[in-house]
A = this chain, B = another copy of it.
Amino acid sequence: MEYLTGENKKETVEIGDLLSTEKLGQIIKMRGAIHTIRDMGDIAFVILRKREGLVQCVFEKGKTNYDFKELKEAACIQIQGEVHEEERAPHGIEIRLHEIEILSEPAAAMPLSINKWKMNTSLEAKLNNRSISLRNIRERAKFKIQEGIVKGFRDFLYGQGFTEIHTPKIGAKGAEGGANIFKLEYFHKPAILEQSPQLYKQMMVGVFDRVFETGPVFRAEKHNTKRHLNEYTSLDFEMGYIDSFEDIMAMETGFLQYTMALLKREYANELNILKVTLPKVDKIPQVRFDVAKELVSKKYDRKIRNPYDLEPEEEVLIGQYFKEEEDADFVFVTHYPSKKRPFYAMDDPADTKFTVSFDLLFHGMEITTGGQRIHDYNMLVEKIAARGMTEEGLEQYLDTFKAGMPPHGGLGLGLERLTMKLVGEDNVRETTLFPRDLGRLTP
């Protein structure tokens, strides 16, 4: 009988192995893809692409035991060679090649030049060839940063006593009204794709006190802008036993602090590749919605057209205002008007035209919406009635409140938008692995 007893240790090494041990002068084996070949005459530089970065290998013609003419960019190879110090090479090392073994070869030339440092390619072309364009070191680095954000979100919330949940994406009715929802047929029943885990995470606050989810959400919005996607990854949490909605903003601030520290520690390489300066998160100003409108109206001499809504241009100006006045990268805008918030939002007892809710702006763009929710069954039923909504499809949600629920609140954060702002891109598709928008359903 044969057994599996744990992960297979390999004799091939990774970049980390080269750096952490006394490998200079040693002969090692390594695997990777040929990122680029630079033929210098007697020698050639064969740059290997590995998950941790690039490795400079030196092909010495006549010495390296392989026919140079046979070597192709984009081939996957195993090499054997000697490790040398070389301060001009990535990681300060190069490998002088003894042997090369081909693991697999491309069937055609690359459709894009991925081995340039900055790809001189349109966004459309990059997205049309997504699995190729991401082989570029800078393109790839954005998604390592994205990984770090999600890791930071989860690790921070685990530490704060949150439980991770997985809620269904196919449902019977939308949480926040009928528009902008993808519909499908589910075994001859009408169904929808959830535009948010909102109702589910609230229901789970009664079970776990604090919950979070990282998963896809679906919005059939017909926006064709640089910041809208029709499917995106939402980082959601919901927490019970709060004193006020400030507890939610405080928790988000804690998450941002934790995550920026994590990125600095574990993703320094990618931050450096993308020349990212991490934003300031030690203290984040908060300002009321109506006050923010006044401030930018005065400072930038801009008329307030609609006192109950924030235009994208106003968001940008609020970002600019707080950067100029407070050197702040983030700002919490609070107390949004009640009629612009969903039925479950808690109205401000001091003035029920407003809610105890907030958006978080990052350099003038909304990346989070959150706030306190209604926890009292009767208040919830009254608000649903006052809005002329039906309770149909909300039965089990409402039953949850009937059976008692703690004061609670939470937020949803758009992962791709946060990544975009963090790495300094201006189109959310740049930081979405495979974007879905009005025109794009492939790859």
Binding site for B on A (CB under 8 A): 1-8, 10, 12, 14, 31-33, 50-52, 74-76, 103-108, 110-111, 128-132, 134-135, 140, 143-144, 146-147, 150-151, 154, 158, 160-161, 163-172, 182-187, 189, 191, 193, 200, 203-204, 206-210, 215-216, 218, 220, 222, 230-231, 233, 240-241, 243, 246-247, 249-254, 257, 282-287, 326, 332, 375-378, 393, 395-397, 399-407, 415, 433-436, 438, 441-443
Contact = CB atoms under 8 A, between A and B. Distances in A.
A247 B339 CA distance: 56
B166 A250 contact: no
Nearest to A190: B441
Nearest to A210: B51
Contacts of A132: 206, 399-400, 403
Contacts of A182: 170, 184-186
Given A107-B378, A129-B399, 18 more contacts: A3-B285, A5-B284, A6-B254, A7-B254, A51-B210, A76-B240, A103-B406, A106-B377, A106-B402, A106-B404, A107-B376, A144-B163, A171-B442, A172-B441, A183-B184, A186-B230, A189-B441, A204-B433
A181 to B, nearest CB: 11
Copy number in the complex reads 2
Contact of A104 (B75, B332, B399, B404): B404
Contacts of A396: 128-131, 442-443
Which of A8, A147, A435 has the most B CB atoms < 10 Å from its CB? A8
Nearest to A398: B107
A166 B76 contact: no
Given A6-B257, A442-B172, A76 B400 contact: no
B171 A441 contact: yes
A142 to B, nearest CB: 11
Contacts of A160: 7
A321 to B, nearest CB: 12
A209 B50 contact: yes
Given A134-B207, A151-B164, A167-B433, A283 B5 contact: yes
Given A144-B163, A218-B170, A191 B4 contact: no
